[in-house]
Structure 1
Amino acid sequence: MPYTKAHKNNTRERILESSFRLFAMKGFEGVTIDVLMNDCGLTRGAFYAHFKSKTELYSEALKFRANSTKLANLKPEGVSNKQWLCLLLNTYLSLEHVSGERSLSCPLAFLATDINMQDKTIKTAYSDVYYGMNTAIMKYASSYCDCDEQDVFSVTAMMIGAVAIARTLQSKESIEHLLAACRREAGIKLGGI
């Protein structure tokens, strides 16, 4: 009996979730298809039912994770754009995000050091996610302040860099200081949030 579409979608999502986690920990070269599929509890053959190559999987995992972040969520009713952006900024620049809490992990920060060594397909997927992040932030910020595209680019680059750097620091106090400084600077650029 063939698998249902829902079963296939659930399996695909399981592979994407597992692959993002493994790529974030080990990088593209550190993850084999066998290791990935073993982590999912699936066979190597199941991989090829969903993806043509590890490169395609990496690109899809990046986009999948980006679409599951808080920034990709719709703003709740009754929350102003400024309040929502403040919440997003504080969540992104938090200890929970740096530690890799499953629901927060942004592929832009978690894969930043690995992307430069990848092919054009992967770099394009990363760039698309980055531009999407900028577009979303600009949409919220432009409704209440006079920031421009350059302000948003500088804020998102600082946010991504701060989380990537914080993940390498050994001292919790240093991490907290870095995140607080970046929250303050980002808040200033985005209209005093």
Structure 2
Amino acid sequence: MPYTKDHKNKTREKILESSFKLFALKGFEGVTVNELMKNCGLTRGAFYAHFSSKAELYSESLKFAASGTKLASFKPEDIPSKKWLALLLDEYLSLEHVRGEHTITCPLAFLATDINMQDDEIKSAYSDVYYGMNSTIMKYATSYTDCDQHDILSVTTMIIGAVAIARTLPDQESIMALLTACRREAGLKLGGI
């Protein structure tokens, strides 16, 4: 008896979530399809029911991770845009995010050093996620301040880079100093949040 569409979708999501975590930890070249599938408790055969290649899985897991971030969620109507952006920055530039303790971490920061070695399809998926992040922040920020596209580009580049670099630092004091400095600068660019 064939699996239901719901079962297949849940299995696909399980593969995407599990794979993103491994890709973020070890990079594209650092894991095999067998390891990816073992990590989520499935067989290699299940992989081919959902994906045609490891590169497709990498690209799709990047997009899946981005769609699960707080930035991708809808802003609660009772929270003003300025306050929402402040909450997003606080969460993004947190020690928990750097350590990968959030349910879904930002693929832009966690794959920053790995993405350049990938094919055009994967780079395109990464770029789409990056542009989406910029558009979302721009939408919130322009509702209360007169920042422009250049301000948003500098903010997103700074916070993504801050998390990527913070992940390499040896001690919590250095990490916190970096995150605090970037949070202050990003807040100023976004209208003093």
TM-score with structure 2 setting the length: 0.99
Q: Does 1:11 align with 2:32?
A: no
Partner of 1:144: 144
Determine helix, strand or coil for the equivalent of 1:13.
helix
CA distance in 2, matches of 1:156, 1:39: 31
- CA deviations on 1:44-90 (whole Å, 9 max, x unpaired) are 11000000100100000000000000000000121000000000011
Q: Does 1:103 align with 2:103?
A: yes
Moved runs in structure 1, 4+ residues, more than 3 A?
Answer: none
- CA deviations on 1:160-191 (whole Å, 9 max, x unpaired) are 00000000001101100100000000000000
CA distance in 1, matches of 2:157, 2:43: 39
Q: Which residues in structure 2 correspond to 1:50-69 (within 5 Å)?
A: 50-69=50-69
Q: What is the root-mean-square deviation in Å for CA atoms of aligned residues?
A: 0.6
Partner of 2:123: 123
Q: Which residues in structure 2 correspond to 1:150-189 (within 5 Å)?
A: 150-189=150-189
Determine helix, strand or coil for the equivalent of 2:145.
coil
Contact 1:92/1:104 (<8 A) preserved: no
- CA deviations on 1:127-161 (whole Å, 9 max, x unpaired) are 00000000000000001001000000000000000
Contact 1:59/1:125 (<8 A) preserved: yes
CA distance in 1, matches of 2:97, 2:42: 29
Number of equivalences = 193
CA distance in 1, matches of 2:103, 2:40: 18
CA positional deviation for 1:104: 4.1
Partner of 2:34: 34
Q: Does 1:134 align with 2:134?
A: yes
Amino acid at match of 2:108: L
Contact 1:81/1:144 (<8 A) preserved: yes
User: Which blocks of at least 5 consecutive residues in structure 2 are unaligned?
Assistant: none
CA positional deviation for 1:41: 1.1
CA distance in 1, matches of 2:147, 2:40: 44
Partner of 1:84: 84
TM-score with structure 1 setting the length: 0.99
CA positional deviation for 1:102: 3.5
Residue identity (%):
74
